[in-house]
Amino acid sequence: MSDFRVLIASTDPGFSAAVTSILAAQLSTAATDVIDPQRLRAKPEAMALVVDARDDALGARTVVRTVRAMGFGGALVLIGGSTNAMADSELGVATVAVDRIAFDLVQCIGEQMALASAPFADQVTRARRLVSAGEIAMRLQHALNNPLAGLLAESQLMLMDPQTPDQQASLERIVGLCRRMIEMTRTLDGLGERPLSTRTGVAN
């Protein structure tokens, strides 16, 4: 069995077959396997991971961030999809255009493998922090929104009843503060990457 294993993350059998054929022709020592990117729940046991990003670039980058957060330090290549040079650079990812697969794929894997010979410690650490930040933000948003929404509703109900001027002013301040806090928690939506907690299955 070959020690050099390449995983192809795609749900398109035709695409997977084409990439497998290219790798077989140009990198004959490599063993290839196809995995469903939605079933990635463990660090891939491979030297390289080729991700199909043609129709879902955002989903492909979620896969990339997730496998880096898992500690995968091998070569990572995205096929197609819009590029984000800064994000790719931070995570040690190469992007190959669909019409350049036969020309550039193996070269990109080789270049990524050269980089992978040195640990991806910084990239892995950054990716793990992004995933952790997303989890914390999601929990914090949920923990704050429920009591704030309840306090806002109670204050608005009290405003419907006759109040003294001082009570009216206090309740209006409470309503305004609750709305500001709820708006602030909404800014947590874009923090970090959400984990693939709803996906099932294991592939490695």
Total count of residues recorded for the chain: 204
Identify the CA nearest to 73 among candidates 50, 45, 99: 45
Q: Which residue has the higher pLDDT, 71 or 121?
A: 71
Of all residues in the chain, what percent carry a pLDDT higher than 70? 74
> Quick one: pLDDT at residue 37?
85
Give residue 99's pLDDT band: very low, low, confident or very high (50, 70, 90): confident
Residue 46: pLDDT over 50 = yes
Do 52 and 15 meet the contact criterion of CB atoms below 8 Å apart?
Answer: yes
Question: What is the rounded distance in angstroms from the CA atom of residue 51 to the CA atom of residue 34?
Answer: 10
Which pTM value belongs to this model? Answer: 0.55
The residue written with tokens 């790798």 in the block is 23
Helices (H), the chain: 13-26, 57-69, 85-91, 101-116, 121-159, 165-186
Are 77 and 100 a contacting pair, CB within 8 Å?
no
Going from the C-alpha of 60 to that of each of 158, 159, 178, the distances in angstroms are 49, 49, 37
For residues 155-161, average pLDDT: 89
Interior angle at CA 100, CA 99 and CA 106, nearest 5: 140
Average confidence (pLDDT) over 196-203 = 38
What band does 128 get if pLDDT is binned at 50, 70 and 90?
A: low
Confirm if 52 and 35 have CB atoms less than 8 A apart. Answer: no
Q: How far apart are CA 81 and CA 60, in angstroms?
A: 9
Give the C-alpha separation, 87 to 186, whole Å: 24
Q: What is the pLDDT of residues 67-81, one digit of tens each?
A: 888 888 888 899 986
Give the whole-angstrom CA distance, residue 62 versus residue 40: 11
pLDDT at residue number 193:
43
Mean of pLDDT values over 192-202: 39
Query: Tokens representing 60?
Result: 């492909």
Q: Which element (helix H / strand E) includes 9?
A: strand 4-9
**CA separation for the pair 70, 65 (Å, rounded):** 9
Q: Which two tokens mark 65?
A: 């961030």
Contacts of 20 (CB under 8 A, 6+ apart): 8, 32, 34
Q: How confident is the model at residue 195 (pLDDT cuts 50, 70, 90)?
A: very low
